[in-house]
Amino acid sequence: MIDPIFLLEAAINGILLGGILALLALGLNLIFGVIDIVWIVYVDLVMLCMYVLYFTNQVYGWPFWLAALAALAVGAGLGVAVHVLVISPILASPPINQLLATGGLLFFIQSFATFLWTTDHRSVRFSLPSFEVGGIFLPATRLIPFGISILAMLALYLFLTRTFMGTAMRAVAQDREAMALMGADPRRIYVMTSAVGGLMAGLAGTLLVFQYSVHPFFGGQFGPLTFMICVLGGLGNMVGAFVASFIMSEIISIAGVIWSTEMGYVIAFVVFIVMMFIRPGGILARSE
C-alpha cells in the first residue's frame, strides 16, 4: 500500500500541473471559440517561445524577466503570423483542410526546429528553493508557474468579460455573422484573438521552462493532451477546459505515483475516450 502522504503530494502536484495545462487549453480554446479553427500547432508555438527563452536567457545572458517579455512578444507575433499567413487564406475552406493546414505547419515547425537546433534537450537553469510542508516537498519551480498561470487566467477572464474588445470576442464566438452586422470587421477580431492566443502561448512557454527542457518534439508531449482537455471540456467552453485540465492532471499525477507516469497517460486517454461516449459535448455540456 502506498503511503497516503505520497498520494497527497501527487494530488498537490496534480493541481500545480493542472494550472499550466489550463493555461495551454484556454489559449487553444479561445482561438477555437472565436475563429472556429483548431490550431493543432498551438503547443509547437509554445515550444518556439521556450527556445526564445532558452537562447535569450541562457545563451545571450538576458535577465529572465526580459527574456520572458521577449517570449511573450514572439508568442503574440507568431499568433498573428499563423493567422495571417496560414489561416486567413483558407478561412472559407472546409474544416478538414484548415485542420490539415495547421497540422502541416506543425510538422514544418518540428522539422525546422530540428534542423536549426538539433534534437538536444535544452534547459533554463534556475536556482530556486523548495519548501517542505508536513513532509510534502513544494518546489518553487512549480509554485511560481502555477501562481502566475492562475493570475494570467484571472486576467484573461477579466479581459473577456470586462473590456469592450474581450466582449466583442465572445460575441464573435457566439455569432460571427451577427457581429458583422454590428459593424465589426471579423478579420480584425480574428487577428486580435490570434495575438491574445499567441501571447498566452508565450506565457505558457515561459512557465514551462521552469520544469521542462525544450526540444523540437516538445509539442508531442503536451499537444495531444491540450487538445484532449479542450474536447473533454467541450471545444470552445472556457470553464469546461479549466475543469478538464485539473481532472486530467490529477489522473496523470496520481496514477503516476501508484504505477508510473506512462500509465497515468494511458488512464487519462482511456478516460477521455470513455467520456467521448458518455458526454460527447464535453463534461459541462448542457443536455439540450
Partner 1 sequence: MSLPGASGGAGSMLELRDVTAGYGAFTALWNVSLRVQAGEAVAVVGPNGAGKTTLMRAISGMIPIRAGELVFEGASVGGRPAHEIVARGIAHVPEGRRIFPALTVADNLRMGAFLPAARRRYAESLERVFGLFPVLAERRAQRAGSLSGGEQQMLAVGRALMSCPRLILLDEPSMGLAPVMVLRLFDLIQRVRAEGYTILVVEQNVRQVLKIVDRAYLLEVGRIRTEGAASALAQEDFVRKAYVGL
Binding site for partner 1 (CB under 8 A): 164, 167-168, 170-171, 174-175, 177-186
d(Cα 87, Cα 82) in Å, to the nearest integer?
Answer: 7
Closest approach, Cβ 244 to partner 1, in A, equals: 19
The set of cell numbers assigned to 178 is 451577427
Q: Which is nearer to partner 1, 111 or 161 (CB)?
A: 161
CB of 130 or CB of 167, closer to partner 1: 167
Look-up: residue for cell 498551438? 42
For the chain, where are the alpha helices, taking DSSP H only? 4-35, 42-53, 64-81, 95-117, 140-162, 164-174, 176-181, 186-208, 218-233, 238-258, 261-278
The DSSP output letter for 90 is G
**Residues pairing with 139 in the sheet:** 130
Smallest gap from residue 33 Cβ to partner 1 (A):
11
In three-state secondary structure terms, 38 is coil
Of residues 159 and 217, the one with the C-beta less far from partner 1: 159
* 38 within 8 A of 235, measured Cβ to Cβ: yes
Inter-residue contact 23 to 200 (CB < 8 Å)? yes
| Cβ 31 to partner 1 shortest distance, Å | 18
Cell of 46: 509554445
The least CB distance from residue 187 to partner 1, in Å, is 9
Give the residue with the Cβ less far from partner 1, 164 or 277. 164
Minimum CB distance to partner 1 smaller for 111 or for 163: 163
Q: How far is the CB of 32 from partner 1 (least distance, A)?
A: 16
Pick 139 or 186: Cβ nearer partner 1: 186
Report the b/e string of 220-251 with b at 16+ CB within 10 A: eebbebbbbbbbbbbbbbbebbbbbbbbbbbb
Give me the least distance between CB of 101 and partner 1, in Å please: 23
Contact 232, 244 (CB under 8 A): yes
